[in-house]
């Protein structure tokens, strides 16, 4: 019986509720909130942080992205180009090719003479 009484007392304890601030009025965002602003996943938000595209405040025990960083992130927009960037193709250097042949001949057991 005492357990039920203690439990019921805990259930009746009320906490002071914090007033929710709309996302547009916030000065900082958590990683999930930042991702939510862009309709993306939390993983995407952390990738932006780790890539250096967004600079968070991490001194307070959790990551907080200032509103100014969100504005800077949005200011970096560019025109959409649907064509993929071509990867630069470089031909092997003749010196490297010769060195590769030398190594291959040594592996095969051929002598240099």
- What's the pLDDT tens digit per position in 32-64? 999 999 999 999 999 999 999 999 998 888 899
Residue 57 lies in a domain: yes
Q: In which domain, by residue range, is 63 found?
A: 23-76
Contact 42, 63 (CB under 8 A): no
The per-residue DSSP string of the chain comes to -HHHHHHHHHHH--PPPPPPPPGGG-SEE-HHHHHHHHT--HHHHHHHHHTTSS--B-TTSS-BEEHHHHHHHHHT------SPPPPP--PPPHHHHHHHHHHHHHHHT----
Residue 96 lies in a domain: no
The whole-angstrom separation of Cα 42 and Cα 32 is: 5
What's the pTM value of the predicted model, to 2 decimals?
Answer: 0.55
Residue 89 lies in a domain: no
Query: What residues pair up with 29 in beta bridges, in sequence order?
Result: 65
Residue 16 lies in a domain: no
The predicted pLDDT at position 67 comes to: 94
Residue 88 lies in a domain: no
| R_g (Cα) of the chain, nearest Å | 29
Residue 18 lies in a domain: no
Least confident of 6-10, 14-18, 73-77, 78-82: 6-10
Residue 17 lies in a domain: no
The whole-angstrom separation of Cα 28 and Cα 57 is: 9
Total domain count for the chain?
1
Residue 93 lies in a domain: no
């Amino acid at each position: 019986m005492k357990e039920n009484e203690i439990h019921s007392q805990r259930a009746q304890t009320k906490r002071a509720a914090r007033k929710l601030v709309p996302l547009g009025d916030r000065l900082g965002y958590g990683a999930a909130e930042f991702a939510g602003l862009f309709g993306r996943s939390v993983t995407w938000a952390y990738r932006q942080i780790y890539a250096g595209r967004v600079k968070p405040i991490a001194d307070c025990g959790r990551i907080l992205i200032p509103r100014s960083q969100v504005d800077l992130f949005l200011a970096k927009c560019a025109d959409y180009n649907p064509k993929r960037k071509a990867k630069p193709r470089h031909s092997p250097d003749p010196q490297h090719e010769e060195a590769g042949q030398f190594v291959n001949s040594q592996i095969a057991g051929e002598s240099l003479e």
